[in-house]
Amino acid sequence: MRSLLILFLAGILAAAGDWPQFRANPQLTGVSSGTLPPSLKLLWTYDAGETIQSSAAVVGGTVYVGSDSADLLAIDLETGKLRWKYHAKEGIDESSPLVHDGVVYVGDIAGTLHAVRAADGKALWTFKTDAEIRSSPVADGDHIFIGSYDGNLYCLSARDGKMLWKFTTTNYVHATPSISGGLIYIAGCDEIFRGIRIADGKEALQFSSGGYTGASPALLGGWAYFGTFNNDVLGADLRRKRIIWRYEHPERQFPFYSSAAVTADRVVLGGRDKLVHCLNAKTGKAMWTFPTRARVDSSPAIAGGRVYVGSNDGHFYVLDLASGKKVWDFEAGAPLSASPAIAQGRVVIGSQDEKLYCFG
C-alpha cells in the first residue's frame, strides 16, 4: 500500500511539473504536462522596474526571470515576493533562464552567460562571448549550450564554464537551440538549419531554410517546426534531412518570430500578421487562426487542451486548442512579447509594463 501511495504521489508531482527553461524542455515543445484552473484569475504581480522580455522558468516553487534592468530575479511562486536578485553586466533582454542541477543560467546584452546558484543567487561563474546574447541556454547532462550574436554556438562545462567546443555559423545565433538524440539543432540567421553532434561539435545535418530565422525550432517525433522571416512556417523531417511542407497565410504575408508549441498533431505559433496560427503537424494545412490587434511575438504554451499566449496588443489570451475560440483574456498595461511558463497550477508571463503577472 505504501509503495502504491508513493507511486500515486510521484504521478501527481510529475503531472504538476516544473518549467525549467525556455519552451519547457530541451525539445522546445512548449507543452506542459500539468493543468490550470478552468477559469483563471490574477493572483499577484511583481514590479521589476524595467521591461520584461525574458520568459520565465519555474522550478521548485520559484520563478526565475530576467529584465532589461540587468537583474535576474527569483520570485516566490506562491506569494510573488522577491527571494533574491542577481545583477548582470547589462540588460537581460530575450535570453530566458535555464534551471539545471541547482544552477540558473542566463545571458545578457553584454554577451556574458551567467551561472548563479538557484538557492541564493550567488555567482558561480561567467563566460564571455564576443557579442550580445539573446538566445536562451539549454543543457544536456554536464554540457551547457548558448548561442551568441558573434555567430557561434558554444558548448560549455556546467561545472566551471570552460568552453568544450564552439560551432561557427555565418550570421547571428539568435534562436535557442533544441536537443534530441545526441544532436543539438539551430535554426540560423544565416538561413541554414543545422544539427550538430553534442559529443564533438561536428555538423551532422544541414539544409537551407530559405529565410532568416529568429524563431527556435521545436522537435517532436523526428520532425522540426519553426517559422522564418520569409513569412512561412516549416515542417522538416529530420530523418530524411529535408523540408516536407511550408505554410504561408494565403493573404497576410508577415514574418514569424514566435516559436511554435507542438503536440502530436498540431503546431501553434504567433505571427507578425497579428494572428495565432494552428497548423496540422504532418501537412502544414491551417486548422484555425485567431486574430489579435497587434503582432504576436510571444511563443504559445499548451496545457490541458488550451493555448496560452501574449500579444503586443497588451492582452494575454487563453484559446481552445481544438477550435481556436477565445476562452479568456486579460489586459495588461503594455505589449506582452515574453512567453508564458506553466507550472504547479499557475501560469506566469512578463510584460513591457515592467510587471510579471501570475495567474491561477
Asked if residue 6 has pLDDT above 60, the reply is: no
Q: Where are the beta strands (DSSP E) in 218-340?
A: 218-220, 223-227, 233-237, 242-247, 261-262, 266-270, 275-280, 286-291, 301-303, 306-310, 315-320, 326-331
CB 268 within 8 A of CB 307: yes
Pick from 251, 249, 252, 220: nearest CA to 236:
220
The pLDDT value recorded for residue 89 is 84
Q: Could you report the per-residue pLDDT of 220-261, keeping only the tens digit for each?
A: 999 999 999 999 999 999 999 999 999 999 999 999 999 999
**pLDDT-wise least confident of 3-17, 25-39, 41-55, 195-209:** 3-17
Mean pLDDT of 106-130: 98
Mean pLDDT of 207-231: 97
Q: What is the average pLDDT value for the chain, to the nearest integer? A: 95
Q: Could you report the per-residue pLDDT of 308-346, keeping only the tens digit for each?
A: 999 999 999 999 999 999 999 999 989 999 999 999 999
Q: DSSP readout, 173-213?
A: --SPPEEETTEEEEE-TTSEEEEEETTT--EEEEEE-SS--
Report residue 2's pLDDT band, with 50, 70 and 90 as the boundaries: very low
Asked if residue 5 has pLDDT above 70, the reply is: no
In sequence order, what are the residues at sequence separation of 6 or more whose Cβ sits closer than 8 angstroms to the Cβ of residue 143? 155, 156, 157, 158, 164, 198
| Cα–Cα distance for residue pair 243/252, rounded to 1 Å | 22
Report residue 14's pLDDT band, with 50, 70 and 90 as the boundaries: very low
Q: Is 89 exposed, middle or buried (0-12, 13-18, 19+ CB in 10 A)?
A: middle
Q: Determine how many CB atoms are found less than 10 A away from the CB of residue 78.
A: 14
